[in-house]
Homo-oligomer: A and B are copies of this chain.
Amino acid sequence: MAFTLHPRLAAGGFDFGRIGACRLLLKDNALFPWFLLVPEVEEGIEDLHQLEPGVYLEVMEAVRRVSAFVSGHFAPEKLNVGCIGNMVRQMHIHIVGRSPGDAAWPGTVWAHEGKQPWLPERVEDIRRAAVAELGLE
């Protein structure tokens, strides 16, 4: 199966590589430590329960591991995890570190318009840490 990242997901973040059955992206918004897990599944599989049971477990294990990474590396007060996709239908799971005083607190990031690009050197720091902890391919 040829998997192609949706152009809007590809344009909005940095592709860090593969974990489990997913690609891991850092969203290009330095206001939040905001990651996307994009399961490499065929088009039309848009909701979590549509994943085959084995793939579902693999994706959920990736959610768990990336959540632990975001928690450990950024020390947020709370994680926000969501699979929404009302607009971009290619399945993608948001994993976002949240803290009181961040740009959207206590609201959700999805209702927040603000955006600030990451500095390239910060992206490289985060990529290195993610590769080291998560063993991305």
Contact of A47 with B by CB under 8 A: yes
Q: Told that A49-B63, A60-B60 touch, could you supply 8 new A-B pairs with CB distance under 8 A?
A: A46-B78, A47-B71, A49-B79, A80-B82, A81-B82, A81-B83, A108-B110, A111-B111
Could you tell me which A residues sit within 8 Å of B by CB distance?
46-49, 56-57, 60, 63-65, 67-68, 71, 78-87, 89, 98, 105-108, 110-111
- Taking CB atoms, residues of chain B closer than 8 Å to A46 are 78
Is A86's CB under 8 angstroms from B110's CB? no
A110–B120 Cα distance when bound, in Å, is 32
A108 touches B84 (CB 8 A): yes
A sample of 17 inter-chain contacts (CB < 8 A) reads A46-B78, A48-B64, A48-B67, A48-B81, A49-B64, A49-B67, A49-B71, A56-B60, A56-B64, A57-B57, A60-B60, A78-B85, A80-B83, A81-B83, A82-B82, A108-B111, A111-B111
Contact A105 B86 (CB under 8 A): yes
**Pair B78/A86 contact, Cβ less than 8 Å:** yes
Q: Which residues of B contact A110 (CB under 8 A)?
A: 107-108, 110-111
CB neighbours of A82 from chain B (8 A): 80-84
Which of A48, A68, A106 lies at the interface centre, i.e. has the most chain B CB atoms within 10 A of its CB? A48
Query: Is B111 within 8 A of A79, CB to CB?
Result: no
A93: nearest chain-B partner, CB-CB: B81
